[in-house]
Chains A and B, each alone.
Chain A
């Protein structure tokens, strides 16, 4: 009965109901679409950055991440390799042996980061071969090196020349070797461009005296959505007395911070938006309460308790909110879906920059039911709170005075 009464009351003033519901609809639509685009953009960005080098998660020896010391390398065991075969979520294990060294031509010496890689898996993971601009990519077990263009320039080396490497190897052994330059690669990030030098994994292991060892096992997964499942798998499968794993939020905290900062800006926009909507809804409630004083007087006179009457009126407000929110979500779904299928294409300087990094300059929207759910929840909270106003009025209502008006 309460429900029926509330429902019919909503449609008493159709025009007002439509206007109020429409304002909620637009707020929900605006916020959902914005949020979907924003999140989509961030996910795309994170996906790009993450797949640039680190991956969504990496496994290391337990203490490696703090020190990044070669001495904390781990053996690339079969059980570690088997993670990819045994779990659905891990698509590939990408092994790396990463350490520092001095590259030299005899008269010039320059600090570099030496990365030993499995050329094929590395290519599948980060598309390293696509960055090659001269020479050839490494073959499995290759005894040559790939140089980032910044390194090559500094040392004045070209394809076919020989680079000398010296370093401290695994547990303090002396490391030295001569490697023919097989190819030159180009990184858009100057930071990386002036320090990377790639060897094949066995060559790097031999150089550092770390046979069978790696410092890093990067985990290739399909996309960010698989990350929660990956975390569950790792928690279950990984021997944490020896290994530790880090996801991208730990490896690149500044990226997460930037995202959080951006989201915080949005929260302010949404707050303002809902504040405006709240004023609109409140206006409706105010008019409705005013107009229906007489009716409230009759209802309490004939024996309807204030609490009961109050629940009818509260329900009216909340139902109005729900109607608006549901309509808003129904309108947003196809829009967001469309923007996911047909991502917004960027152009101009920004697009060029993205392309230099090897990123596609597109921002697909993210379709996530949570986004719609959050909007619906916000509308519900706003209306549920505003709906308290008539309750307060009814609690103070004097039937005789209400009916005299």
Chain B
């Protein structure tokens, strides 16, 4: 069964004034373990689609089913809890809570899940090691580079063992070295934790690493291809 299923998703912003049709009927199935890039020109609806899949925004029409759960049926608080337990988010930048250390940031969602302290600590350390930041655990975000911050964000997104991770242009603010590092880590964790990754990007080097590439144009899926030989760094 697909981890994510969307059917007939449309999204119209400002329906009453100057309507903007950001999505015009998106049907998409994402299977467990995928490492998929959503690409397309600026304004094609990538962010809108990811927000709707992540339950941050509601579609104008259509259905989103995540892990068998139609998310439009969830109340506000249930939806927040659903995000906490099932979806990891990595945003473009400023993902982290500025007053918490890297370690505390990674532990944060597990804390909301009321996991025991020892388990939290262990998992957070393990993930920070996996993203190569074991020596930065006690640093605050302001003391980390943009690339390091994004790696902490990936660790945090993975910490609660979500069903999948949504990343909207996670490398947009990174230089090429940091971009390559982040992609390596994402690919590695995708493999090791068999977590599904769905990310949007403009960056050709990132696109090259994806195993499946979904291209949006004007709010519609224009192309959907599997890459049999994704690049490795």
Q: Tell me if A154 is interfacial: C-beta within 8 Å of chain B.
A: no
B98 in the interface (beta carbon within 8 A): yes
Known: A302-B83, A303-B80, A304-B112. A5 touches B100 (CB 8 A): yes
Considering only residues 3-42 of chain A, those with a C-beta below 8 Å from chain B are 5, 8-9, 12
Tell which of B56, B80, B95, B111 touches A305, judged by Cβ atoms closer than 8 Å.
B80
Question: Taking A1-B111, A308-B112, A400-B56 as contacts, is the C-beta distance between A302 and B89 under 8 angstroms?
Answer: yes
Q: From A299, A301, A305, A306, name the one whose CB has the most chain B CB atoms within 10 angstroms.
A: A301
> Please, which residue of chain B has its CB at the minimum distance from the CB of A11?
B99
Residues in chain A near residue B83, CB distance under 8 A: 301-303
Q: Which of B54, B85, B108 contacts A301 (CB 8 A)?
A: B54
Nearest to A402 among chain B residues (CB) is B56
The yes or no answer to A300 lying at the interface (CB within 8 A) is yes
The reply on B156 being an interface residue by CB < 8 A is: yes
A303 touches B94 (CB 8 A): no
Identify which of A301, A303, A400 contacts B81 (C-beta below 8 A).
Answer: A303
Closest to B85 in A: A303
Q: Of A1, A12, A295, A306, which one neighbours B80 at CB under 8 angstroms? A: A306
CB–CB B99/A12 < 8 A: yes
Interface residue from B54, B77, B94 paired with A294 (Cβ < 8 Å): B94
Q: Which residues of A contact B76 (CB under 8 A)?
A: 306
Report yes or no: B112 in contact with A303, Cβ–Cβ below 8 A.
yes
Smallest CB gap from B108: residue in A = A302
**B119 touches A (CB below 8 Å):** no
- Chain B stretch 61-103: residues in CB contact (< 8 A) with chain A: 76-77, 80-81, 83-85, 89, 91, 94-95, 97-100
Interface status of A403 (Cβ within 8 A of chain B): yes
Residues of chain A lying within 8 A (CB to CB) of residue B99: 5, 8-9, 12
Chosen A-B contacts, 15 in total, with CB atoms closer than 8 Å, are A5-B99, A8-B99, A8-B100, A9-B99, A12-B99, A295-B97, A298-B94, A301-B83, A304-B80, A304-B84, A304-B112, A305-B80, A306-B76, A398-B57, A400-B51
- Taking CB atoms and an 8 Å cut-off, the chain A residues in 292-328 that contact chain B are 294-295, 298-308
User: A5-B99, A12-B99, A400-B51 known; A302 and B56 CB under 8 Å?
Assistant: no
Give the one of B51, B80, B108, B156 with max A CB within 10 A.
Answer: B80
Closest to B54 in A: A301
Contacts of B156 in A (CB 8 A): 302
**Does any Cβ of B come within 8 Å of A343's Cβ?**
no
- Whether A299 and B97, one on each chain, are in contact in the complex, defined by CB atoms closer than 8 angstroms, is yes
Chain A residues with Cβ below 8 Å from B57 are 398, 400
Output the least CB separation between A354 and chain B (Å).
58
Residue A127 at the chain B interface, CB threshold 8 Å: no
Query: In the bound complex, how far is the Cα of B81 from the Cα of A306, in angstroms?
Result: 11
Give the size of the chain A interface in residues (CB under 8 angstroms). Answer: 22
Cα A196 to Cα B76 with chains together (Å)? 82
Q: In whole angstroms, what is the CA distance A299 to B84 when docked?
A: 10
Q: Decide yes or no whether B183 CB sits under 8 A from chain A.
A: no
On whether the beta carbons of B51 and A302 are closer than 8 Å, the reply is: no
Which residues 153-199 in B have Cβ within 8 Å of A in the complex?
156-157, 160
A399 within 8 A of B: yes
Which of A12, A305, A403 contacts B98, CB < 8 Å? A12
Binding site for B on A (CB under 8 A): 1, 5, 8-9, 12, 294-295, 298-308, 398-400, 403
Nearest CB on A from B134, distance (A): 23
Asked if B53 is at the interface (CB within 8 A of a chain A CB), the reply is: no
Chain A binding site: helix, strand, loop or mixed by DSSP?
helix
**Once bound together, how far apart are the Cα atoms of A298 and B89, in whole Å?**
9
Alpha-carbon distance A9/B100, docked complex (angstroms): 9
Contact between A295 and B54, CB atoms less than 8 A apart: no
CA distance A1 to B98 in the complex (A): 15
**Which residues of chain A come closer than 8 Å to B108, judged between CB atoms?**
302
Chain B residues whose CB sits within 8 angstroms of the CB of A5 once the complex forms: 97, 99-100
Bound: A294/B97 CA distance, A? 11
B216 CB, min distance to chain A CBs, angstroms: 18
What per-residue 1/0 map shows which CB atoms of B94-129 lie under 8 Å from chain A?
Answer: 110111100000001101100000000000000000
Chain A residue numbers with a CB within 8 Å of B97 are 5, 295, 298-299
Extra 19 A-B pairs, beta carbons < 8 Å, given A302-B83, A399-B56 = A5-B97, A5-B99, A5-B100, A8-B100, A9-B99, A294-B94, A298-B89, A298-B94, A298-B95, A299-B97, A301-B54, A302-B109, A303-B84, A303-B109, A305-B77, A306-B77, A307-B77, A400-B56, A403-B91
Are A301 and B112 in contact (CB-based, < 8 A)? Answer: no
Nearest Cβ distance between residue A401 and chain B, in whole angstroms?
Answer: 9
Which 5 pairs from chain A and chain B are nearest by CB? Answer: A303-B84, A8-B99, A400-B57, A303-B83, A399-B56
Docked CA distance A303–B94 (Å): 16
For B84, give its contact among A302, A307, A400 (CB under 8 Å). Answer: A302
Instruction: Determine the chain A residues whose CB is within 8 A of the CB of B56 once the complex forms.
Output: 301, 399-400
Complex Cα distance A306/B108, Å? 15
Complex CA gap A295/B76 in Å reads: 19
Evaluate contact between B112 and A298: CB separation under 8 angstroms.
no
| CB closest residue in chain B, given A294 | B94
Known: A308-B112, A400-B51. A295 touches B98 (CB 8 A): yes
Shortest CB-to-CB span from A302 to chain B, Å, is 6
User: In the complex, A364 Cα to B195 Cα: how many Å?
Assistant: 74
Q: How far is the CA of A302 from the CA of B76 in the complex (A)?
A: 14
Tell me, in angstroms, the Cα distance from A308 to B108 when the chains sit together: 13
